[in-house]
Structure 1
């Protein structure tokens, strides 16, 4: 494979050279002028900054004295606020512990009530099912008195198992 002539590449090179010449003629001179003006402006700013620095040093000494007094006052305020915050935090924690204990006790009481209710319902259901099963096993008609006697005996036995 030999090198082939590429017209697009040649056109791009020519366009690039034209762009460089255009930039040199149109942009470079104004850019150099802007940079020169900027250098003069910076030199003026440096002189003004030096004068302001000296004034600032004088003000700094006065402000440092005021800052020391302000820091001392701030330290006192922070110590008072910290102490008040700690006291309030301890109070909040104590209240939260009391509330948590109360909620826990109420939940335990509710659980116990629900447990007793569930046990009673379960006993009733087991008794009814036991009577039905016993009736089928015996295959005879039971009187209400015999049925009630069997339920009471079953409940008594179930209560002893707990």
Structure 2
């Protein structure tokens, strides 16, 4: 079995306590300071990461807000463009209607004038033809003296009646 002597235990304990004392006086403070420094740097890194995460979240929100604003502006511009397009089309239709009405009125006036001219020409031709026919009829009827006297008597009697 194991045999342990008291002297070895005592000297080992004394050596351990000396090493422990030396470590506490010389190495413990720098080791603890380095551990604290490492803890602080880890805390700072975690805080920086958290801050960066918050900034990224804020940037994401800001980007989303900018995108929404840009979409709204685009939609407004499209709406304005559609309104302008509709207005231009409406104005063009109105102008076309006005021009159509002008052309239609002008055509109606031209037709009316042509009709009046044609009617006047027809009346003139009818009058000319009537005179020519009357002239020929009267010449035929008035070839003889007897017929001329009868016609004059007839007109005289009609004139006396009136």
Q: TM-score, normalised by structure 2?
A: 0.40
Q: Highest Rg: 1 or 2?
A: 2
Q: TM-score, normalised by structure 1?
A: 0.40
Higher-RCO chain (CA-CA 8 Å, sequence separation at least 6): 1
